[in-house]
A and B are shown apart, each in its own frame.
Chain A
Amino acid sequence: MSTLGTRTGTTSPRPGELLLKVDGLAKSYTSKGKRTDIIGNLTFSVNAGEVVCLVGPSGVGKTTLLKCLAGLHPSTGGEMSIDGRRIYSPPPEMALVFQDYSRSLMPWLTVEKNLRLPLRHLRLPQSEVRTRILDALAAVGLSHAAKQYPWELSGGMQQRVAIARALAYRPEILIMDEPFASVDAQTRFDLEDLVLKIRDDYGMTVLLVTHDIDEAVYLSDRIVAIGLRPAVVLEELTVDLPLPRNQLDTRALPRFAELRNHTLSLIQHASAKPTPSAMEDAVPGAAGAPA
């Protein structure tokens, strides 16, 4: 691959070096004089070239966290930095793939023009724009759909378009917010493999948020487990499964099951804590593997 992901003028971190740092991040809302802490003192980091999954139960504030990270919402405490520069507004090194693909693509633009739109303000030569778009569409296997409208495509294909749009933008880090939550199981496997392929081909760093523990284990180099509420890091664990991964073999490894069960027990434990009355009854012992 060519000089993907690098921006002229900046020295981006080499693989393994610190790229994204979140230090003591906090976010709270005040409404009617009552303060609600969504995120309390969250600390983790992502190194260049890594795939890191943030895993947590539904309602833990993962989307809020990503919106803070992307500079869409102001945080109320702590700091975040990318390439050593603090994040106050959406940083140029970052691209986001949203959960709801159907609401993140412009329905009045063809697939190709959807990819082209974010490149406008980069003022690249036309030939470069064309190359990037063709490359990105080829990477997600949608070269044939360039002239179609997003709403003519299936859900999985629409999410591929959203991923291609991020790829054409050539960020250093690709952030994905439950990107495969609303596609069918087979498509989900395909898209997971697509993420791994992008990491390999483009050397891109990926931070993915999910509530699906199997998915996190399958994709990650590292898992950051997040618990309720306010959200804090429960544990960071390194996923020492061999690369390249494969839907059939990787998921059949005993180590896969160990990691899965460990993460699951962490999260179930965390879910059970804040509301002892209701939750503890529902999760006896809290640590059991699923049936």
Chain B
Amino acid sequence: MNTRKIISVAVGVLVPIALLAWWYLASAGSLNPFFPPLRDIVVRFKELWLFDHFATDVLPSLGNLFVGFAIAVILGVALGFAMATVPVLNAMLSPVVQFLRGIPPVALIPILITLVGFGNEMRVASIVIAAMFPTMLSTIDGIRSVEPGLKDVGAVYRFSRGDRLLRVYLPSSLPQIVSGMQVSLQVAFIVMIASEMLGSSQGIGAMTLLAQQSFMSADMWAGILLLGLIGFLTNILFDLVKNRVLSWYVSSKRLERAA
């Protein structure tokens, strides 16, 4: 590792630590009810999440997030594939899709509450509907931009239809699909919290909102801290999986830049 890289890693670690230290010191004597000392927040964080409410509130939230995200990705890729490869389907669905994706995802939640009720199904359904679009649209883009030369190879060598879809189109558009999935994951996370804040008593979002409404600022901050951590960690996890699945893409781009 060269010096420049060491410095950039060190800076990346030290700046957040410095910010935390600053927050800790600056808030130490705070009497402001909205900005409690970080020390209190950390204490509440430990009491609430490690591990009192972990099973009852954190796990269900995470469960909804991942189930909703997984269904959204499967539907998004399947629909994207269908729309990109069947022109009639595209002509039929494209206007609807363009309209639906223009609606802010959170605005769909009231409709779903009316339709499905307040249960877990509603939350998962909101996540699925909102998170499906980024993956779907990037899948369509990805398939449309498959190298014409590779399509010709598939035709000349008489690949079966299945091979064409799964062994040419899918891997070729995977980089785009995956970056769509990353956006989907962020949307899923937002909708997960929002769906818990409406008419729910369970989940991290619900607890955080409840804490705010009952003037338990430390609890509220602890909730926000947890949400930040979850968002941060899921993104890291996603990047790890991405770099593994797309290792050919990552390395070929790196080589291209180096050349």
Q: CB within 8 Å of B: which residues of A?
A: 67, 70-72, 90, 92, 94-96, 98, 100, 103-104, 106-109, 117-118, 120-121, 149, 151-152, 169
Contact = CB atoms under 8 A, between A and B. Distances in A.
Interface in B118-166: 147-150, 152-153, 155-160, 163
B167 A117 contact: yes
Contacts of A120: 159-160, 163, 167
B9 interface: no
B interface: dominant SS: helix
Contact of A118 (B152, B157, B248, B256): B157
B110 interface: no
A98 B149 contact: yes
B36 interface: no
B146 to A, nearest CB: 11
12 contacts: A71-B155, A90-B156, A95-B156, A106-B150, A108-B172, A108-B174, A117-B159, A120-B160, A120-B163, A149-B252, A151-B256, A152-B255
Contacts of B256: 151
A90 B155 contact: yes
Given A108-B249, A121-B163, A103 B149 contact: yes
Given A107-B248, A107-B252, A98 B157 contact: no
Contacts of B248: 107-108, 149
A108 B153 CA distance: 15
Contacts of B150: 103-104, 106
B81 to A, nearest CB: 17
Nearest to A100: B149
A121 B171 contact: no
Interface of B: 147-150, 152-153, 155-160, 163, 167-168, 171-172, 174, 248-249, 251-252, 255-256
Contacts, number: 69
Residue picked from B160, B167, B174, most chain A C-beta under 10 Å:
B167
Contacts of A152: 255
B121 to A, nearest CB: 38
Given A149-B252, A151-B255, A104 B153 contact: yes
A96 B150 CA distance: 12
A92 B158 contact: yes
A181 to B, nearest CB: 14
A217 to B, nearest CB: 28
B159 A98 contact: no
Contact of A72 (B156, B159, B251): B156
Contact of B171 (A94, A103, A108, A149): A108
A90 B149 contact: no
Contacts of B252: 107, 149, 151
Nearest to B175: A108
A106 B168 contact: yes
B249 to A, nearest CB: 7
Contacts of A107: 248-249, 252
B255 A72 contact: no
Nearest to A94: B156
Contacts of B153: 96, 98, 104, 106, 118
B6 to A, nearest CB: 28
Contacts of A104: 149-150, 152-153
B174 to A, nearest CB: 8
B159 A118 contact: yes
Contacts of A117: 157, 159, 163, 167
B160 to A, nearest CB: 5
A20 B31 CA distance: 91
A72 B171 contact: no
Nearest to A121: B160
Given A106-B171, A149-B248, A152-B255, A72 B152 contact: yes
A108 B255 CA distance: 14
A107 B255 CA distance: 13
B248 to A, nearest CB: 5
Contacts of A108: 171-172, 174, 248-249
A108 B166 CA distance: 13
Contacts of A151: 252, 255-256
A110 B22 CA distance: 51
A118 B46 CA distance: 58
Given A95-B157, A118-B159, A121-B159, 16 more contacts: A90-B155, A92-B158, A94-B156, A98-B153, A100-B149, A103-B147, A107-B248, A107-B249, A117-B157, A117-B159, A117-B167, A120-B167, A121-B158, A121-B160, A151-B255, A152-B255
A87 to B, nearest CB: 12
B145 to A, nearest CB: 12
Nearest to A106: B150
A19 B118 CA distance: 72
B147 to A, nearest CB: 5
A191 to B, nearest CB: 19
A152 B159 CA distance: 25
